[in-house]
Amino acid sequence: MSAQRLICTMFLSEFATDVLRWSGRSPRVAMSGRSGMRRLIVNADDFGRAPGVSRGIVEAHRAGILTSTTLMVNLPFSRDASDLAVSVPALGVGLHLSFCYGESLASDAPSLLGDDELLDRNLARLQGRLLVEDIDREARAQLERFRKLTGRNPTHIDSHQHVHSWPEVREAVAQIAQENDLPLRAIDADHRAFLRQLGVR
């Protein structure tokens, strides 16, 4: 995640807190999920992408800004981020599926690979050739890696560049979420309606 996106996330959280304060409501109570209140979850993705990104996410959580993050499990710094998360047990950690960045964890998913044998970062090229069975294998491999790294299930699932919302991808990812009773982040109203139809949280 870029520094600009992290700053934007921090700004939005501060703005939401200010709105609650101006309205005379306690931010702590309003975000607690008590009866009659909606719970505000502020999530930062790309945990594990780089040491600075992971530290920034943890620092933002300790400052009371972030409540949740999603971990990329197929990168050199994934384990470091997982270890770092142990120091902040209140931070929710989900799975940030990556089909277009980093190393493939599936034993065989050729339609996702670029010329360098890493996951293809060219989204237009990837979208034109990916196979659903490769998406399924890669997503399952990344979920298994998450469990090995953290010793638990993710709080929820989302994906790098929202690839899990693509029409040719979303059903395979939704099925995995449903099988494992995991919430899956919807990126818009259409995607949300699709997930609800399948009974995915």
- What is the pLDDT, as a whole number, of residue 35? 57
Percent of the chain with pLDDT over 70: 82
152 within some domain: yes
Tell me the average pLDDT across 96-124.
Answer: 97
Cβ–Cβ under 8 Å, residues 84 and 150: no
Q: 123 lies in which domain range? A: 41-198
% of the chain exceeding 90 in pLDDT? 79
Is 110 part of a structural domain of the chain? yes
> How much is the mean pLDDT over the chain?
87
The answer to whether 121 touches 114, Cβ cutoff 8 Å, is yes
Residue 161 has pLDDT above 80, yes or no: yes
Indicate which CATH number applies to the domain containing 127. Answer: 3.20.20.370
Per the confidence metrics, is the pTM higher than 0.85? Answer: no
Q: Is residue 16 part of a domain?
A: no
Own/partner contacts of 78-84, CB < 8 Å, gap of 24 or more, are 78/48, 78/145, 78/149, 79/149, 80/48, 80/51, 80/54, 81/47, 81/48, 81/54, 82/48, 82/149, 82/150, 84/54, 84/55, 84/58
- Going by pLDDT thresholds of 50, 70 and 90, the confidence category of residue 148 is very high
Range of weakest confidence among 13-17, 74-78, 96-100, 167-171? 13-17
| Residue range 66-93: mean pLDDT, rounded | 98
How large is the average pLDDT for residues 76-96? 98
Supply the pLDDT for residue 38. 77
Number of domains in the chain: 1
Q: What is the pLDDT of residue 39?
A: 82
Q: Are 106 and 141 in contact (CB under 8 A)?
A: yes
| Residue 35 maps to a domain | no
- Specify the higher pLDDT residue, 149 or 37: 149
Q: Look at residue 137 and tell me if it is in a domain.
A: yes
pLDDT at 98 over 50: yes
User: Distance (Å, rounded) from C-alpha 15 to C-alpha 9?
Assistant: 10
* Comparison of pLDDT for 156 and 1, the residue scoring more: 156
Residue 108 lies in a domain: yes
Domain assignment of residue 45, yes or no: yes
Q: pLDDT tens, 1-59?
A: 444 455 444 444 444 444 334 334 334 434 444 556 778 999 999 999 999 999 999 99
Residue 20 lies in a domain: no
What is the reported pLDDT for 127? Answer: 92
